[in-house]
């Protein structure tokens, strides 16, 4: 039984982290004229009404995109991201009204020749995503399990692109399914860029996910771990984590710059961003 709905969390600090990283990866893919494919295993609703009941109930967006709204970030990651969110909102709006999820970010930055393939299982979210995709001829939507879907659909005909895995983690086995799915994708598509998001919670279930990716890194793969931590709190999400397999050239530096700036803009002096390569244990702090 699926109960998670991303509308309660859209635009929060974890979305800033995840979506700014996605924008940086898309910018890299756009450097070549050849088409690419984005496979998004857990698409969500596509776009979110920040004036609606779900967003109002938690108010999480105010501590994410809300903090960045009036700012002019210096890093490429945050600038690209903010540009995309602003494009969906009325010019000069005093606050964001609408927030793009990962499917709309990929479609907005991609070209007509690029393809965005989306999986979403929740009936209401799937219906909302279908509505959000109206007019996008290069989007394909599946109502199927996201892990099974991406495994079956790789490698894409384009042979270039990325896989985003962003499950809800309401099922505890998501922590094991993410690295397992990444290994299976790489067995069929060795150059795939894979980006997986995970929450950092007090139960620390994400540690098993990191250990599994560390094992994958031993096979010579470059795997970047990137974490954005909130100031200390007793309950709830302590941080947002990303694992990026086969990160493009200079991506680690770009992400460190965006992560450091996000930590400062979102959390001030109490903000913290950490990144390290799982394969080489190189540590970068911002
Ligand atoms: N990636 C989206 C974004 O960044 O805008 C947000 C995705 S949200 C965190 C996770 C989504 O996965 C939810 O909409 C949920 O309904 C969906 N979901 C949960 N289990 C799934 C599964 N096994 N396969 C596909 N979708 C699933």
Ligand 1 neighbourhood includes 167 CB (under 6 angstroms)? yes
> Which token pair is 12?
């929060």
Q: From CA 229, how far away is CA 116, in angstroms rounded?
A: 30
Render pLDDT for 217-269 as a digit per residue (tens, 0 to 9). 887 889 999 999 998 776 789 999 999 999 999 999 999 999 999 999 999 98
Per mean pLDDT, which range of 102-111, 118-127, 154-163, 271-280 is the poorest?
271-280
Answer whether 23's CB lies under 8 Å from 84's CB. yes
Q: Is the pTM of this model over 0.85?
A: yes
Ligand 1 neighbourhood includes 8 CB (under 6 angstroms)? no
- CA of 45 relative to ligand 1 center, distance in Å: 8
Ligand 1 neighbourhood includes 151 CB (under 6 angstroms)? no
Q: Residue 101: helix, strand or coil by DSSP?
A: coil
DSSP H or E stretch at residue 85? helix 76-87
Render pLDDT for 159-180 as a digit per residue (tens, 0 to 9). 999 999 999 999 999 999 999 9
Q: Residue 164: helix, strand or coil by DSSP?
A: strand
- CA of 46 relative to ligand 1 center, distance in Å: 10
Q: Is the peptide bond before 273 cis (omega within 30 degrees of 0)?
A: no
- Calculate mean pLDDT across residues 109-133: 98
pLDDT of residue 279: 66
pLDDT of residue 95: 95
Our answer to whether residue 166 is catalytic in this structure is yes
């Amino acid at each position: 039984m699926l109960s998670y709905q991303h509308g309660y969390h859209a635009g929060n600090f974890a979305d800033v982290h995840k979506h700014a990283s996605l924008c940086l990866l898309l910018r890299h893919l756009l450097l070549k004229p050849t088409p690419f494919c984005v496979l998004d295993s857990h698409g969500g609703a596509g776009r979110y009404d920040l004036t609606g009941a779900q967003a109002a109930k938690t108010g999480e967006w105010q501590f994410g995109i809300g903090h960045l709204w009036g700012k002019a970030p210096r890093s490429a990651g945050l600038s690209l991201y903010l540009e995309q969110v602003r494009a969906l909102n009325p010019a000069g709006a005093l606050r964001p009204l609408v927030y793009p999820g990962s499917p709309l970010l990929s479609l907005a930055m991609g070209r007509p020749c690029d393809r965005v393939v989306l999986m979403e299982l929740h009936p209401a979210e799937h219906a909302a995503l279908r509505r959000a995709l109206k007019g996008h001829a290069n989007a394909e939507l599946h109502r199927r399990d996201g892990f099974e879907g991406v495994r079956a659909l790789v490698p894409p005909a384009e042979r270039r692109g990325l896989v985003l895995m962003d499950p809800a983690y309401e099922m505890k086995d998501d922590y094991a399914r993410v690295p397992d799915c990444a290994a299976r994708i790489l067995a069929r598509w060795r150059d795939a860029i894979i980006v997986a998001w995970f929450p950092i919670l007090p139960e620390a279930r994400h540690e098993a996910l990191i250990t599994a990716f560390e094992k994958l890194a031993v096979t010579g793969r470059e795997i970047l771990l990137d974490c954005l931590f909130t100031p200390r709190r007793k309950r709830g999400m302590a941080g947002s984590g990303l694992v990026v397999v086969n990160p493009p050239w200079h991506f680690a530096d770009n992400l460190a710059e965006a992560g450091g700036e996000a930590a400062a803009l979102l959390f001030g002096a109490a903000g913290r961003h950490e990144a390290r390569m799982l394969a080489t244990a190189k540590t970068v702090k911002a």
